[in-house]
Amino acid sequence: MPYGVTRWCGVLSGSADNDVYQFHHVDRATPFEEIWQAVDVLVQQGKILYAGSSNFAGWHIARANETARRLGSYGLVSEQCLYNLAERRAEMEVIPAAQEYGLGVIPWSPLNGGLLGGALRKEREGAGSGRTASGRAADELAKPEVRARVQAYEDLLDKHGIEPGEAALAWLLTRPGVTGPIVGPRTADQLASALRAVELELSAELLAGLDEVFPGPGASPEAFAW
Which residues span the domain enclosing 206? 111-175+184-217
Residue 50, strand partner residues: 20
| 161, 170, 225 from 25: Cα distances, Å | 39, 27, 28
Residue 31 placed within a domain:
no
Residue 36 placed within a domain:
no
Residue 3 placed within a domain:
no
Residue 164 placed within a domain:
yes
Distance CA 31, CA 204 (A): 45
Distance CA 52, CA 108 (A): 14
What would you report as the CA-atom Rg of the chain, rounded to the nearest whole angstrom?
19
- What is the 3-state secondary structure of 116-179? CCCHHHHHHCCCCCCCCCCHHHHHHHCCHHHHHHHHHHHHHHHHHCCCHHHHHHHHHHCCCCEC
Residue 13 has pLDDT above 50, yes or no: no
- The total of structural domains in the chain comes to 1
Residue 146 placed within a domain:
yes
Produce one character per residue of 128-147: b if its CB has 16 or more CB atoms within 10 Å, e if not: beebbeeebbbebbeeeeee
Alpha carbon 186 to chain centroid distance? 19
Residue 56 placed within a domain:
no
Residue 90 has pLDDT above 90, yes or no: yes
94 contacts 68 by C-beta, under 8 angstroms: no
What is this structure's pTM? 0.87
Residue 211 placed within a domain:
yes
Pairing type for strands 104-108 and 20-22 reads: unpaired
pLDDT tens track for 150-197: 999 999 999 999 999 999 999 999 999 999 999 988 899 999 999 999
Residue 188 placed within a domain:
yes
- What's the confidence (pLDDT) of residue 15? 45
Distance CA 17, CA 13 (A): 9
pLDDT tens track for 19-73: 899 999 999 999 999 999 999 999 999 999 999 999 999 999 999 999 999 999 9
